[in-house]
Amino acid sequence: MGHFDRLPFSAVWAVDFEFTAPPGERPEPVCLVARELRSGKLIRVWQDELRRMRVPPYPTGADALFIAYFASAEFGCHQVLGWPMPERVLDLYTEHRARFNGIGAPAGNNLLGALAANGTESIDALEKEEMRELVLRGGPWTSSERAAILDYCQTDVDALQRLLPAMLPTIDLPRAILRGRYMAAVARMEHVGVPVDQPILEQLRAGWDAIKLHLVEEIDADFGVYDGTTFKLDRFSSYLARMAIPWPRLGSGRLDLSDETFRDRARAHPELEPLRNLRHALSQMRLNDLAVGRDGRNRLLLSPFGSRSSRNTPSNTKFIFGPSAWLRGLIRPPPGHGLAYVDWSSQEVGIAAAFSGDPMLIAAYQSGDPYLAFAKQIGAVSAEATKATHKAVRDQFKAVVLGVNYGMPDVAEIEAIVSIAPGNLANLIRFAQYTGMRQEEIGGLERKQVRYEPRAIDLWKTKSNRPRTVSMDERAAGTYIGTVPHLHSRWLFWHHEGERYRRISNQFNTLIKRATRDGLIEYGFRFHDLRHWFAVDYLRRGGNIYDLQQELGHSSVQTTEIYLDFLKPDEQREAKFGAGTKPGTATTVRGGDSARNDG
């Protein structure tokens, strides 16, 4: 028990609940197993006894540490039972995520995956799934089934007892407890849910198929590209040829039917806008998937720390904020209540000010307009300047402030890193700079994925798990040609005996430290900042944000639009509304035929 003695708490409890939770409903606890890890004291409680308990059978004060895996599930049961929340929480799920987000967990992010990543034995996955199905089946359960469910619940507690010592040496406890507090906040959000106008929702659901068909009949009369509610590719191709409308294609040669492409083409051909809106509306019409409980609250798993950047990742189909924005009109507070939709102002600048302690940056943030305040601080505008009187200057300084915060490197800084990078790592860095590819995409890139005629890179494994094609300009193509193949390796960028590059960011950070130490650069930046550099350079060279979205693989153009802040007003207009052919290429598709002129 020596591992647990180092923890500054009088008691350390590992806790797990089993529960059922139909869509939109709060959890219904089935049983609880808890063990105090120092003394070994074990508690097993079935649901009938749980309902009679007014407080949990373990302490929840600041001197006791609550251990769980995905603690928001346990906290959901706490709230249903009316129990107080533990004050100090160590969630091994969040710590597993903190370790592997961005680089990929070797065996997944559930408890079995965390055990495998730490070389710890676990219950068989098939056995675990069978027991989980028994729980979700719901009661009543026989006495033998109750015993089996309690035993199954205890296996997770036993797993926590083995996992904690393996993970503890790498856990930053103060930050870990802060993450544990957030899991309690997530549980509160899931418990409360979002109030929905249920009668209107049920009316919409009842007439949903008829509504969709009516929309298609009304709008498709001018296009003739639908069969019922099904969009027909051959009919659309014939329509384009008939109307002589150019249309981009994917690397496979098929028409690009993404909403972003439709949006871009509709700007040039406004007659397409009704069709674009129809396709978008139909793709978002998934009312039957919205998870709404009997009390009219939208509840679902918010999946905290689920993204690479550790944001929440709730289901877009189950969450009221996932489908089309107009469906948020279903949100309705109960009588006598109101709802506020709030967001932070200049959050990134505020965080940078707090962490840096820079009094000038703090003052700029507290002014309410850090971009204009920065311009005033260096004398670029007078103290009386406002956003209305000096908008152009403010836009320029906004790009500067955000560029500094994002760690946006300049060409000289990137060249300094390339100059000291050994072997093919130098070309790998240049390729990232000129293509905007993520480190895991470029590290696992095989030569057969690169096509020199036409210049394109076919990515099979991406962050979104959707294949995409990345174009190559003359600089990227030159880097590709200049990378000597290894006779026995399939990787484009290799080292030693033909091995692929792994943990690229670690190697890159080593170069940054060396360059900073030797005075080659003043400030460091991340490998991911090469992607930011590419995006801004792409737009400044005449590209538009819709093509850039496809290049970067963003699921929403709103993510791509952050790069507009780095452009001058005229560049912004061109990036949003101009023709914007891809830099280094010119692609035209007319009447189903394509022609490419590589520049």
- Do residue 521 and residue 504 come from a single domain? yes
pLDDT of the chain, 599 residues: tens digit per residue: 467 778 999 999 999 999 999 999 999 999 999 999 999 999 999 999 999 999 999 999 999 999 999 999 999 999 999 999 999 999 999 999 999 987 788 889 999 999 999 998 777 767 778 888 999 999 899 999 999 999 999 999 999 999 999 999 999 999 999 999 999 999 999 999 999 999 999 998 888 888 889 989 999 999 999 999 999 999 999 999 999 888 877 767 788 888 767 876 787 788 998 998 888 778 766 678 899 999 999 999 999 999 877 889 999 889 998 877 778 899 999 899 999 888 788 888 898 899 889 999 999 999 999 999 998 998 889 999 999 999 888 877 887 787 777 667 889 999 999 999 999 999 999 999 999 999 999 999 999 999 888 889 998 877 777 788 899 999 999 999 999 999 999 999 999 999 999 989 999 999 999 998 898 988 788 899 999 999 999 999 989 888 898 899 887 777 788 788 788 778 888 888 765 456 655 332 223 333 223 33
Q: Which residues pair with 15 in a beta bridge?
A: 34
What's the rounded Cα separation, in Å, for the pair 438 and 447? 17
- Do residue 360 and residue 330 come from a single domain? no
CB 71 within 8 A of CB 182: no
Q: Which residues pair with 11 in a beta bridge?
A: 64
- Do residue 133 and residue 43 come from a single domain? yes
- Do residue 451 and residue 337 come from a single domain? no
Q: Domain of residue 395: give its range.
A: 347-405
Instruction: Please report the sign of the dihedral spanned by the C-alpha atoms of residue 214, residue 220, residue 226, residue 232.
Output: negative
Q: How many domains does the chain have?
A: 4
What's the rounded Cα separation, in Å, for the pair 315 and 291? 10
What's the rounded Cα separation, in Å, for the pair 164 and 151? 20
- Do residue 457 and residue 383 come from a single domain? no
E strand residue ranges, 179-218: 194-195
Instruction: Report which of 431, 432, 461 is spatially closest to residue 444, judged by C-alpha positions.
Output: 461
**Does some domain include residue 595?**
no
Q: Which residue has the tokens 């952050």?
A: 562
- Do residue 220 and residue 308 come from a single domain? yes
Please tell me the predicted confidence (pLDDT) of residue 598: 30
Please tell me the predicted confidence (pLDDT) of residue 281: 75
CATH of the domain at 504: 1.10.443.10
CB atoms inside a 10 Å sphere around CB 391:
13
What's the rounded Cα separation, in Å, for the pair 483 and 494? 9
Please tell me the predicted confidence (pLDDT) of residue 112: 92
**Does some domain include residue 19?**
yes
CATH of the domain at 183: 3.30.420.10
Joined tokens for residue 455: 């210049």
CB 17 within 8 A of CB 152: no
- Do residue 396 and residue 427 come from a single domain? no
Instruction: Report which of 189, 417, 390, 387 is spatially closest to residue 303, judged by C-alpha positions.
Output: 189
**Does some domain include residue 597?**
no
**Does some domain include residue 596?**
no
What's the rounded Cα separation, in Å, for the pair 327 and 211? 14
**Does some domain include residue 533?**
yes
What's the rounded Cα separation, in Å, for the pair 233 and 500? 40
- Do residue 331 and residue 201 come from a single domain? yes
CB atoms inside a 10 Å sphere around CB 67:
28
DSSP 385-427: --TTTSHHHHHHHHHHHHHHHTT---HHHHHHHHHH--TTHHH
Task: Name the domain boundary from 192, 208, 232.
Answer: 192
Please tell me the predicted confidence (pLDDT) of residue 454: 81
- Do residue 169 and residue 227 come from a single domain? no
DSSP 523-544: S---TTHHHHHHHHHHHHTT--
Work out the burial of residue 252: count CB atoms within 10 Å of its CB; fewer than 13 is exposed, 13-18 middle, 19 or more buried: exposed
CB 493 within 8 A of CB 501: yes
What's the rounded Cα separation, in Å, for the pair 236 and 425? 45
- Do residue 47 and residue 130 come from a single domain? yes
Please tell me the predicted confidence (pLDDT) of residue 584: 58
- Do residue 384 and residue 478 come from a single domain? no
E strand residue ranges, 82-167: 89-91
**Does some domain include residue 131?**
yes
Please tell me the predicted confidence (pLDDT) of residue 251: 67
Please tell me the predicted confidence (pLDDT) of residue 587: 34
Q: At what angle do helices 173-192 and 71-81 cross, to 10 degrees?
A: 50
**Length, in residues, of the chain:** 599
Q: Which residue has the tokens 């152009």?
A: 392
Task: Name the domain boundary from 311, 342, 373.
Answer: 342
Please tell me the predicted confidence (pLDDT) of residue 369: 93
- Do residue 104 and residue 224 come from a single domain? no
Please tell me the predicted confidence (pLDDT) of residue 552: 92
Cis peptide before 140 (omega within 30 of 0): yes
Task: Name the domain boundary from 342, 364, 380.
Answer: 342
Distances in Å between the alpha carbon of 356 and those of 349, 353, 407, 410, 521? 10, 5, 14, 22, 20
**Does some domain include residue 171?**
yes
Q: Which residues pair with 586 in a beta bridge?
A: 597
Contacts of 307 (CB under 8 A, 6+ apart): 101, 313
**Does some domain include residue 598?**
no
